[in-house]
Structure 1
Amino acid sequence: MAIASSATVLFCCAKPNFRRIPSQSRSSSPLTTLNESGIRSRSLIHDPITLSGLIGTGLMAGTFITAGPDSTAMAAVDSLQLSEPANALSLPTWAIHVSSVVEWITAMALVWKYGERKGYESWKGLSWGMVPLLGGALCACTWHFFYNDESLEVLVALQAALTVFGNITLCIAAFRINKLSSKIEVSEKP
């Protein structure tokens, strides 16, 4: 049942690559077929996304076959699951952790780019002020990656120190931006 539904989803969602053929050329290569309307479509097997889906479906089929005829489909799926400690983070929690780090790095890059384009060095300072907080986030992710191991508790203290230091650097950077904005407003007044 699961194998059939995977294959059905795969072939229903596959998007063939269509392109028009000039009317004078009617030859087709072995990889393509020509239908009556003059549209050439690539074979589904030569599409990398479809091919990876087919391989995945084959691997799932192999898993169910190796599980044996007496076992149920759920037993085969359960045999694939890894055993993790009780304090392991769930997949949604990991998604939040990783996306937060990626967003922070993106924000740092955008702040830096804004400072370069406008010529405001204080905005680049804001980007530098964000670095300690990134270090704290990486400490937290590392500690969670190793299932909150007690031997790595130093990472918790390092994260706390980097968070305090990062908040101070952000405060200084914000003060510098405010100071620059005040100078710009004074110089723009007639």
Structure 2
Amino acid sequence: MHALSIPTWIIHVSSVIEWIAAIWFIWKYGEVTSNRAWWTLSVAMLPALVSAMCACTWHYFDNAKSLEWLVTLQAAMTVVGNCTLWAAAVWIWRSTKSAEMASELTSTQPIKSK
């Protein structure tokens, strides 16, 4: 008897693939917009990916007692990932605010005629 059923494995693996795709798309968005804050978000997503891979690895080996340390690593990476995602969200928010302020400053400047 294995730890997970086939449908559960499909959900686990597809979730990991989706997370990797999201990281890649967010990185590309950062390139297109030239906004490094989005690159930060994509990097901040990596600890959550490590967490998911820990879970998949532990389940792949049928929750072996010798690999219980993976459960602790998964929990730690979840906490780290939540913190890095929060920090990246703050960075994106701040970059948006500074861009808005710069836009307001340029739009309120009087136009000088020659």
Same topology, TM > 0.5: yes
Which amino acid letter does the alignment assign opposite residue 94 of structure 2? K
TM-score relative to the length of structure 1: 0.54
Which of the pair is proportionally richer in strand?
A: 1
* Deviation at residue 144 of structure 1 after TM alignment: 0.3
TM-score relative to the length of structure 2: 0.90
Matched, 1:136 2:40: no
Partner residue in 2 for 1:54: none
Matched, 1:188 2:103: yes
Which of the pair is proportionally richer in helix?
A: 2
Structure 2: which 5+ runs fail to align? Answer: 108-114
Select the residue among 49, 53, 63 that pairs with 1:148: 63
1:61-112 CA-partner distances (Å, limit 9, x unpaired): xxxxxxxxxxxxxxxxxxxxxxxx2x52111000000000000000000000
CA distance, structure 1, for counterparts of residue 43 and residue 4 of structure 2: 30
Which amino acid letter does the alignment assign opposite residue 147 of structure 1? D
SS of alignment partner, residue 147 of structure 1: coil
Which amino acid letter does the alignment assign opposite residue 125 of structure 1? T
What are the residue-to-residue correspondences of 1:7-156 with 2, within 5 Å?
85=1, 87-156=2-71
CA distance, structure 2, for counterparts of residue 185 and residue 171 of structure 1: 21
1:141-183 CA-partner distances (Å, limit 9, x unpaired): 0000000111100000000000000100000000000000001
Partner residue in 1 for 2:82: 167
How many residues are aligned here? 105
Structure 1: which 5+ runs fail to align? Answer: 1-84
CA distance, structure 1, for counterparts of residue 5 and residue 50 of structure 2: 22
